[in-house]
Amino acid sequence: MSFNTFGRVFRFTSWGESHGPALGAVVDGCPPGLAIGEADIQPWLDKRRPGTSRFTTQRQEPDQVRILSGVFEGRTTGTPIALHIDNVDQRSKDYSEVARAYRPGHADYAYDAKYGFRDYRGGGRSSARETAARVAAGAVARLVIPEVRIRAWVSAIGGDAIDGQAFDDAQIDANPFFCPDAAAAQRWEALVDGARKSGSSLGAVIECEATGVPAGWGAPLYAKLDSELAAACMSINAVKGVEIGDGFEAARLTGEGNADPMRPGPDGKPIFLANHAGGIAGGISTGQPVRLRVAFKPTSSILTPVETITREGAASEIMTRGRHDPCVGIRGVPVVEAMMALVLADQKLLHRAQVG
Amino acid sequence: MSFNTFGRVFRFTSWGESHGPALGAVVDGCPPGLAIGEADIQPWLDKRRPGTSRFTTQRQEPDQVRILSGVFEGRTTGTPIALHIDNVDQRSKDYSEVARAYRPGHADYAYDAKYGFRDYRGGGRSSARETAARVAAGAVARLVIPEVRIRAWVSAIGGDAIDGQAFDDAQIDANPFFCPDAAAAQRWEALVDGARKSGSSLGAVIECEATGVPAGWGAPLYAKLDSELAAACMSINAVKGVEIGDGFEAARLTGEGNADPMRPGPDGKPIFLANHAGGIAGGISTGQPVRLRVAFKPTSSILTPVETITREGAASEIMTRGRHDPCVGIRGVPVVEAMMALVLADQKLLHRAQVG
Amino acid sequence: MSFNTFGRVFRFTSWGESHGPALGAVVDGCPPGLAIGEADIQPWLDKRRPGTSRFTTQRQEPDQVRILSGVFEGRTTGTPIALHIDNVDQRSKDYSEVARAYRPGHADYAYDAKYGFRDYRGGGRSSARETAARVAAGAVARLVIPEVRIRAWVSAIGGDAIDGQAFDDAQIDANPFFCPDAAAAQRWEALVDGARKSGSSLGAVIECEATGVPAGWGAPLYAKLDSELAAACMSINAVKGVEIGDGFEAARLTGEGNADPMRPGPDGKPIFLANHAGGIAGGISTGQPVRLRVAFKPTSSILTPVETITREGAASEIMTRGRHDPCVGIRGVPVVEAMMALVLADQKLLHRAQVG
Amino acid sequence: MSFNTFGRVFRFTSWGESHGPALGAVVDGCPPGLAIGEADIQPWLDKRRPGTSRFTTQRQEPDQVRILSGVFEGRTTGTPIALHIDNVDQRSKDYSEVARAYRPGHADYAYDAKYGFRDYRGGGRSSARETAARVAAGAVARLVIPEVRIRAWVSAIGGDAIDGQAFDDAQIDANPFFCPDAAAAQRWEALVDGARKSGSSLGAVIECEATGVPAGWGAPLYAKLDSELAAACMSINAVKGVEIGDGFEAARLTGEGNADPMRPGPDGKPIFLANHAGGIAGGISTGQPVRLRVAFKPTSSILTPVETITREGAASEIMTRGRHDPCVGIRGVPVVEAMMALVLADQKLLHRAQVG
């Protein structure tokens, strides 16, 4: 099926293709009375926008968002908020190559197998361009959870990881890689440049942390906070893995090594001595920082020819010319943040529904 | 909130606590006319059942399932199928310890923080005992997808991984660890015994593969096949990570190294030369085997005292006496299989809804 | 499809057939901490229970409810509440007649056309016996909305309506017809007796009023309070019409005649001078009593032979012997009340989710 | 809450206010490969469009629809279809009157009570202008159910009903009232003119019939076909009652009088000798025409001053100047048709999901 709505009470529905006239999102269930304007959304879109450095695709999209409904006199009214972004740089290139044969690793074959045909221009609906709609919706979600601070960063590119000891929050926005480790950022410059010049691509790992989440958010059992975060992240283009807290590392530990002991805090709430769990127990937030890691594969758009088949089933080869991200994970940072915000906003309202 | 329904058109709702009189699931949306009896469900429950070896908890639960509705003359009628399992071994132990203080790593504190109080007997709703309901529902799901074969196995315990070269399908059911590598199974015997005797616990990694999934299942963008699988697996107790295909390893690769080239197959369908993607592209199955990996943390029920706080917020220590799994991941195997079956059954019907 | 869950955040899922071993409901999303016991549910089931007077079916069902989960130490825990009712009087009659040919007006043919076959014993899933599950779930819903008082009554049987001027609240529970007009109740005794003795049946109109609903409940546009109530009532067996406020009478009025003028009330809230709207404007409650009317058709189970066809498509006749309600509308009273409670509880929580 | 999505697998989400820049709908779950263009949608919008006769509001809105996504080379791709309609005649009138005091019968007070404030321009989100989005989405739904023919008509205005004997299908589109009885249409001309000139308004009854619906559509118990239709119709502005088949008239009948006997038909399917049930039994279509009736109240926008209160709670009076429909029911005809199409398309796909 096609299912383009995310969330349970704070919901958004996205629409649009890479090379259609526009794309957008309808945000529904947003609390009324929140101060909002396009200026609250645009900075997050700018962060995701392509063409801002040589390390991202050179497609030029201003990604100017317009609010078409749901806001009156600068405040949300409680009715659906329509967010609209025009596509302006759908380069009138020749798509006959992509129309002819399937790009391995892309959704081309799967869409054809499912729907019988596909909008092949720039990947159509399966393009990562759709994530602009998520980022716009996520900006609204942030307004619903002012108590929460969300930040994500790239912690590895092509297997080259940051040094956790060198983590510097201030660095994240100071380099084109959202990298908190200045030395790593410098290494990555050469690394990504190399991939770009050779027409190759690189995978990446993104980490995301939300602080200020109170204990109690989460809807066990089938809308657990971690379950929703996993779904949210795995729905992002190119994502192949999600970890909460220590993730796969926890599978190597003993119960003692994995414990998050508690001590009494000044306000009756516990102070946790560790956070292996990533701030979630039994699918419910514990009051600790919510932490997750996401694996982005290298984009399949590369200059090296790869064996494939045509729509008619004949043997062929394909290589992907044109504008592409050498490391799509980089631009995933604002998208992961947006999905974190969307899940938390939804869970906050769900919690409020049941518990008041 | 509380949200105990999983699935979109093939749905199940589970209920029940560890130490209540019973637990169960209501399966809704199941196609009519499928031959079904309790004998189709019981074997999967037996696989998950505790007390079958010394490597699992010694709680004795026969986990006999009864079908209370939705079946007539041995066939599904298309109406809700109520599955009922009595709890028979709720040992009348003293729960004052667990009632008094929070067990770190368990859901105790989070449930209290959310709901204001909790059923502390055996973890109440947050107990892994609920997974019996999933396994029962999953057995129904399997009947909906007879074209698919699902098998899961343990690929690592406490960081000790199997040797992929030694993979032997026949071994999986031949040892108490669902381990496809006979040598690893032997090593794990000592490993898990050691943990059990010392009152410690171990994490584990489970892998699961579904073959026979045709190309085209998946509901992009927010019910992508991989997104649904991630949610399904992350909702299982003790799971902290999910990978599709190469998962985090893909983040270390280049686009060339991660490619899944295609060649024409005999029937017009492609033959894939690799399966880094785990059988899913753009959230839609490609016809390759669907593969995922799941990380189980070590259970937090250990004999070593851990710092904690009481319900009143005072400093304390707690250790978990009683019957527990030294490695909960082992019994996760039939649960992961069940979630795979539930997602695939749902996606099959969703695909049918839109595409016919 | 089969879709047996009602509600959005306060949800219940019902299961069970007329002649299966049991039926039940799973209530999910209920706020925690509510005092509850089987004694809070049983009285409503007793009100709906068959066999309490000669004017209802003589099937003897004690309809004893058991709570199997979600309650601990007498309070809701916030987890799913499983409600279980055994069927005890599935008379071992001969069903070959109903299996052979379709009873016109019943769901027999439609179920066969949809599902390919059906559980024909007592109507299977399509039996009004399922409404016991609704009434049980509705009893839980009532606990969520203690500020609301719900009462329903029969306002007409077979076209013989009560005299609005004679409305006496105290009468409703004083006769077997839930009739607020003592004179009408007396007339109906003969009317229903006549239908019963001749093997005929009668339609009825039920009215329901909820007082104490604050202004602001309702989820426009597609979960408006009136829209949800209409769906809830129309899902009840034998219901063919739903009106909010003046309903069809409003279609005969002018704007002046239909106006509900407002005056300032003592607490800043308006005093309404009329309630043509039935307490709902724009899909949102206004603080006035919420009022609706529901039309029940006469049951199709009658002793007069009716033309029909067999499963094989041959011409035939059928008459319905056995135990049946001469006027199913009567026992609809607690069911309509339950659906009102379920909708209002859900809307209260939905409102709280968005607005706090 | 705010809930602006309708449908289960064929879904649409609408957005937009009366006086915002635009309004629209996102249709999701539509089958792929359907031939579609704006020309398939525009005629239905033209039918609903205001200002086409003196009997409707004189607001001039071309209601030109644009398809912004989900269509490629003239066919649906299976991805979300964004439908966009600009508002062009938001007259820059003075809204201070409506901002100051609540219009009784409108949603003004309820929205304020719920959300704390409201977009008062033309009723904001509660305006019937939103039904343009429904009609556009309904036009897409029609393409999903080519086997079904839907037609609606006005059967009464202000209590003056058509003569069923004079029913003439060809008349429906031959007069500005969608009236199938030429004589009634003539009477209504004077009737509606009178209301218009005196600044009054009139209620109306609309009937709708869908032929060609096969037996088997409907999702019992809580998404029964009749239940979904009731919800769909009751969600339309100004609707206060819904009847399926004989509706409230059935409540006056006996079981014999209400019977729909069956005879064998030429193709093994039954021929029904009556259709009291309106083509639905047990919530499932029977293959007969699906019939319903809907009551529209007179619009509350009238020139006669009505008592009301101000936002501050002071006593006041209000009358509604400006452009309004003297009988909103008339323009409800294409809206009821659209909701019928939307429900049937959804149920067709739901049926396909479960039964194949």
Tens-place pLDDT, residues D283-340: 999 999 999 999 999 998 888 999 999 999 999 999 877 667 899 999 999 999 999 9
Residues annotated in a binding site of A:
48, 54, 125-127, 237-238, 282, 297-301, 323
- C19 near C133, Cβ under 8 Å? no
Question: Comparing C-alpha atoms, which of D92, D134, D56, D96 is closest to residue D345?
Answer: D134
Instruction: Name the band, by pLDDT with cuts 50, 70 and 90, for residue A301.
Output: confident
Tokens of A101: 């044969």
d(CA C75, CA C37): 8
Look at C256 and D200 and tell me if their CB atoms are within 8 Å: yes
Among candidates A275, A250, A277, which has minimal Cα distance to B203?
A250
Question: D65-79 burial, b for 16+ CB within 10 Å, e for fewer?
Answer: bbbbbbbbeebbbbb
Mutate to test the interface with D, among A6, A67, A72, A90 (most CBs of D within 10 A): A72
Say whether B127 counts as a known binding-site residue: yes
Tell whether C1 is within 8 A of chain B (Cβ).
yes
Alpha-carbon dihedral sign for residues B251, B254, B257, B258 = positive
Nearest CA in chain C to D318: C261
Task: With CB atoms and an 8 Å threshold, state whether C354 touches A79.
Answer: no
DSSP tag of B145: -
3 state SS of B251: helix
**Which of B9, B32, B79 is nearest residue D353 as measured by Cβ atoms?**
B9
Question: Rounded to whole angstroms, how far apart are CA atoms C162 and C145?
Answer: 30
Sorting pLDDT into bands at 50, 70 and 90, what band is B122? Answer: confident
Q: What is the pLDDT of residue B314?
A: 95
Whether residue D95 is predicted with pLDDT greater than 90 in this model: the reply is no
Q: What does the pLDDT read at residue A321?
A: 74
pLDDT band, residue D91 (cuts 50/70/90): low
Cβ neighbour number for residue A267 with a 10 Å cutoff: 8
Residues C47, C60: Cα–Cα separation, whole Å: 14
* Segment 113-172 of chain D within 8 Å of chain A by CB: 114-119, 124-125
Q: pLDDT confidence of B346, banded at 50, 70, 90?
A: very high
Largest CA distance in chain C: 70
User: Which residues in chain C are contacts of A9 at CB distance < 8 A?
Assistant: 9, 350, 353-354
Contact assignment for B353 to D355 by CB distance below 8 Å: no
pLDDT in tens, B140-171: 999 999 999 999 999 999 999 999 999 999 99
Residue among D115, D247, D257 whose CB faces C240 most closely: D247
Is C5-355 a domain of CATH 3.30.2130.10? no
Q: Which of D223, D287, D313 sits opposite C268 (nearest CB)?
A: D313
Report the distance separating Cα B245 and Cα A159, nearest Å. 17
Please name the helix (run of DSSP H) or strand (run of DSSP E) that holds residue B336, with its range, or none. helix B328-355
CB pair distance less than 8 Å for C78 and A29: no
- Indicate the angle between helix axes D131-144 and D328-355, nearest 10 degrees: 40
C355 touching D, CB under 8 A? yes
pLDDT at position D174, please? Answer: 95
Give, for D195, the enclosing helix (H) or strand (E). Answer: helix D182-198
- Residues D20-63 pLDDT 10s: 999 999 999 999 999 999 999 999 999 998 777 888 877 788 99
Average pLDDT over residues A164-168: 96
What is the per-residue DSSP string for D212-245? -PPTT--BTBTB-HHHHHHHHHHTSTTEEEEEET
Contact list in B for residue C90 (CB cut-off 8 A) is none
A89 pLDDT more than 80 = no
Closest to C351 measured CA to CA, from C35, C5, C8: C8
The answer to whether the CB atoms of B261 and A104 lie below 8 A apart is yes
Banded model confidence at residue C223, pLDDT cuts 50, 70, 90: very high
Nearest to B354 among D220, D349, D356 (CB): D349
Nearest residue, CB atoms, C29 vs list A31, A78, A354: A354
Chains meeting A at 3+ CB pairs closer than 8 A? B, C, D
Q: Extract the tokens encoding B169.
A: 């399908």
**Residue D77 and residue A119: Cβ atoms within 8 Å?**
yes
CA distance B111 to D262: 57
Task: Kindly list the residues from chain C whose CB atom is less than 8 angstroms away from the CB atom of residue A350.
Answer: 9, 353
Q: Which residues from chain D sit within 8 angstroms of residue C245, using beta carbons?
A: 240
Q: How far apart are CA D74 and CA A52, in angstroms?
A: 35
Beta-carbon pairs below 8 A across chains A and C: 41
Binding positions of A for NADP(+) are: 48, 54
pLDDT tops 70 at residue A112? yes
Chain A (80-99) residues lying within 8 Å, Cβ to Cβ, of chain D: 80-82
Three-state secondary-structure class, residue A84: strand
Res A129 pLDDT > 90: yes
**How many Cβ atoms sit within 10 Å of the Cβ of residue D289?**
17
Across the interface, do D353 and B79 touch by the CB < 8 Å criterion?
A: no
Residue linked to tokens 């000592």? B190
Q: Which helix (H) or strand (E) holds D148?
A: none
CB contact under 8 A, A284 and B354: no
Cα separation of the two ends of chain D: 35
- Domain ranges for chain D, please list them: 5-355
**Single-letter amino acid code for the residue at C134:** R
Question: Coil, strand, or helix at residue D24?
Answer: strand
Dist CA B123 CA A313 (whole Å): 55
pLDDT band of residue D92 (cuts 50, 70, 90) is low
pTM comes to 0.98
Phi then psi dihedrals of residue D168, to 5 deg? -135, 110
Q: How far is C278 from chain D (nearest CA, A)?
A: 9
Would you put residue B183 in left (φ > 0), alpha (ψ -120 to 50) or beta? alpha
- In this structure, are residues B232 and B339 in contact, taking their beta carbons and an 8 Å threshold? yes
Contact B309 A248 (CB under 8 A): no
On whether B291 is known to bind a ligand per the annotation, the reply is no
- List C residues 29-48 in contact with D (Cβ-Cβ < 8 A): none
CB D277 within 8 A of CB D245: yes
Question: Is C66 within 8 Å of C121 (Cβ atoms)?
Answer: no
Structure-token pair, residue A159: 């297997």
Contact D341, D138 (CB under 8 A): yes
**Sheet with C149-157, side-by-side order of all strands:** C160-161, C149-157, C204-211, C290-296, C239-244, D239-244, D290-296, D204-211, D149-157, D160-161
Which residues share a beta bridge with D51?
none
Using an 8 Å Cβ cutoff, are D25 and D13 in contact?
yes
**Cβ contact D29–A114 (<8 Å):** no
Residue B22 touches partner C, C-beta closer than 8 Å: yes
Q: Do C354 and A9 touch (CB under 8 A)?
A: yes
Q: Does B297 touch chain A (CB under 8 A)?
A: yes
Express each pLDDT in D109-120 by its tens digit.
999 999 999 999
Residues of chain A contacting residue D22, judged by C-beta atoms under 8 Å apart:
68-69, 82
Nearest alpha-carbon partner for A179 in A296, A329, A341 = A329
Subunits that touch chain B (at least 3 Cβ pairs < 8 angstroms)?
A, C, D
| Identity of the residue numbered A151 | R
Closest-approach residue (CA) in chain D for A71: D119
What CA–CA distances, in Å, run from A318 to A304, A310, B77, B116?
8, 10, 49, 59
Q: Tell me which DSSP letter residue B101 carries.
A: B
User: Å from D112 to nearest chain A CA?
Assistant: 10
CB contact under 8 A, B356 and D354: no
SS3 track for chain C: CCECEECCCCEEEEEECCCCCEEEEEEECCCCCCECCHHHHHHHHHHHCCCCCCCCCCCCCCCCEEECCCEECCEECCCCEEEEEECCCCCCCCCHHHHHECCCCCCHHHHHHHHCCCCCHHHHHHCHHHHHHHHHHHHHHHHHCCCCEEEEEEEEECCEECCHHHCCHHHHHHCCCCCCCHHHHHHHHHHHHHHHHCCCCECEEEEEEEECCCCCCCECECECHHHHHHHHHHCCCCEEEEEECCHHHHHHCECCCCCCCEEECCCCCEEECCCCCCCEECCEECCCCEEEEEEECCCCCCCCCEEEEECCCCEEEECCCCCCCCCHHHHHHHHHHHHHHHHHHHHHHHHHHHHC
DSSP letter at B171 equals G
- Rounded Cα distance between B51 and B316, Å, is 32
C192-231 residues touching D, CB cutoff 8 A: 195, 200-205, 214-224, 226-231
What pLDDT is stored for residue C58 in this prediction? 74
Tokens linked to A196: 């770009």
Amino acid at A250: A
pLDDT tens-digit readout, B17-66? 999 999 999 999 999 999 999 999 999 999 988 777 888 877 788 999 99
| Rounded Cα gap, residues D112 and D120, in angstroms | 10
Residue A292 Cα, gap to closest chain B Cα (Å): 9
| Biggest alpha carbon–alpha carbon distance for chain B | 70
The per-residue pLDDT for range C122-142, each reduced to its tens digit, is: 899 999 999 999 999 999 999
Q: Give the C-alpha separation, A44 to D196, whole Å.
A: 51
3-state SS class at D160: strand
- Whether residues C258 and D126 touch (CB distance < 8 A) is answered with no
Nearest to A309 by CA among C241, B264, D279: B264
User: Which residue has 């995301």 as its token pair?
Assistant: A208
Q: Distances in Å between the alpha carbon of D229 and those of B171, B307, D283, D293, D350? A: 55, 58, 10, 10, 15
**Residue in A21, A80, A115 nearest the CB of D32:** A115
| Cross-chain residue pair B353–D356, CB shorter than 8 Å | no
When comparing pLDDT for B344 and A1, which is higher? B344
CA distance D313 to chain A (A): 21
pLDDT of residue B92: 58
Nearest residue in chain B measured CA to CA from D11: B354
